[in-house]
């Protein structure tokens, strides 16, 4: 494995068996971290997480799979307690798990609204809180030069781009933006770093409908000045950087990994 600065670090990646989470887990492991790949307790995500553990092991890296529904307070407390008990500490949280439940606004059920908020916003709160509780018990172990803990929220370009028919999702990611910034402001004096990555259109199953035919992909790419859909590894590399000491002076910021989607490409040559 490459060693890019995360030797000896312990990381949790929520929803790390698929898509952006899986690529983030791989990138962190390639840099030397031991990764806890969290997965939903009941469904195929357990097998996906175990597959990713095996893929990391094949490359000489270190990972384990651990169940917990991010929206369940007791399960998250257990996930963090078991991680710290097993590995002695936690250094990095990648708050990745997320879902979509699109609907016309007037047809959106309270269950659809709550499901998205529970995972995308409350889940990120519960995991960040568990991480901060642990990080606050740690002392900087290298003078003043590095953080005692690091949280990377996976937000979305929809923390700033409004999204019709996905009002629950956009509201959850807008919430993540100010959760991240307010938390970063609060815990910076403890040398805890908190940032977000806002992916644009990344090729995963969450948005399969937007890229699974040539025609749809061509429509999607019109929104992306850089001219291609993103791959999970594009986000994984950014996660690795934000989780490493190379970004030590970066906190409270959103890094857009979107091929320029937030540059309002419709205005190119117009307006
Ligand atoms: P994905 O559907 O491939 O992965 C989502 C992961 O979250 C899966 O592993 C799933 O099992 C897990 N998950 C869902 N609910 C969970 C729960 N309650 N507890 C634990 N795990 C749970 O999609 P993805 O694109 O990899 O999404 C990852 C994150 O990236 C999400 O937060 C999503 O909003 C965000 N994002 C994705 C894109 C994109 O274009 N793919 C763009 C912007 C933001």
pLDDT tens per residue, range 177-212: 999 999 999 999 999 999 999 999 999 999 999 999
pLDDT of residue 6: 96
- Per the listing, tokens 């893929």 go with 55
pLDDT of 1 above 80: no
Distance, in Å, from the CA atom of 190 to the CA atom of 39, rounded to the nearest integer, reads 29
Average of pLDDT values for 40-51? Answer: 93
Reply yes or no on whether 190 is catalytic: no
Query: Average per-residue pLDDT in the chain?
Result: 95
Pocket of ligand 1 (CB under 6 A): 14-15, 17-21, 38, 40, 45, 69-71, 96-99, 119, 123, 154, 156, 199, 201-202, 204-207
| 262 token code pair | 């937030």
Domain boundaries, the chain: 10-258
Tell which phi-psi region holds residue 66, choosing left (phi > 0), alpha (psi between -120 and 50) or beta. Answer: beta
Distance, in Å, from the CA atom of 212 to the CA atom of 203, rounded to the nearest integer, reads 9
Q: Among 73-77, 139-143, 223-227, which stretch is predicted with the lowest mean pLDDT? A: 139-143
CB-facing half-sphere around the CA of 184: CA atoms within 13 A:
20
Q: Which of 169, 190, 249, 264 is catalytic?
A: 169
pLDDT in tens, 96-122: 999 999 999 999 999 999 999 999 999
Distance, in Å, from the CA atom of 156 to the CA atom of 117, rounded to the nearest integer, reads 14
pLDDT of residue 143: 59
Distance 233 CA to ligand 1 centre (A): 14
Distance 17 CA to ligand 1 centre (A): 10
pLDDT of 63 above 70: yes
Q: Which residues pair with 202 in a beta bridge?
A: 230
pLDDT of residue 142: 57
The CATH architecture that domain 10-258 belongs to is 3-Layer(aba) Sandwich (3.40)
pLDDT of residue 3: 40
Distance 98 CA to ligand 1 centre (A): 4
pLDDT in tens, 16-40: 999 999 999 999 999 999 999 999 9
| 138 token code pair | 């740690």
């Amino acid at each position: 494995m490459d060693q890019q600065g995360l030797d000896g670090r312990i990381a949790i990646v929520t929803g790390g068996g698929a898509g952006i989470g899986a690529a983030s887990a791989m990138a962190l492991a390639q840099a030397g971290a031991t990764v806890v790949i969290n997965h939903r307790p009941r469904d195929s995500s357990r097998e996906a997480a175990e597959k990713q553990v095996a893929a990391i092991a094949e490359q000489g890296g270190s990972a384990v799979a651990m169940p917990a529904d991010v929206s369940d307070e007791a399960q998250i407390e257990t996930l963090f307690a078991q991680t710290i008990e097993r590995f002695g500490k936690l250094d990095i949280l990648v708050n990745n798990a997320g879902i979509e439940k699109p609907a016309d606004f007037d047809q959106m059920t309270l269950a659809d609204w709550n499901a998205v908020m529970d995972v995308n916003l409350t889940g990120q709160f519960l995991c960040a809180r568990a991480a901060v509780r642990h990080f606050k018990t740690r002392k900087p172990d290298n003078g003043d030069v590095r953080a005692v803990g690091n949280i990377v929220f996976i937000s979305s370009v929809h923390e700033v781009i409004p999204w019709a028919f996905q009002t629950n999702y956009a509201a959850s990611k807008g919430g993540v933006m100010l959760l991240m910034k307010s938390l970063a402001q609060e815990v910076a004096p403890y040398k805890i770093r908190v940032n977000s990555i806002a992916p644009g259109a990344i090729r995963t199953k969450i948005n399969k409908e937007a890229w699974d035919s040539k025609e749809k992909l061509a429509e999607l790419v019109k929104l992306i000045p850089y001219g291609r859909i993103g791959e999970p590894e594009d986000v994984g590399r950014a996660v690795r950087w934000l989780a490493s000491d190379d970004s030590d002076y970066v906190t409270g910021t959103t890094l857009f990994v979107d091929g320029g989607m937030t540059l309002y490409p419709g205005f190119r040559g117009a307006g």
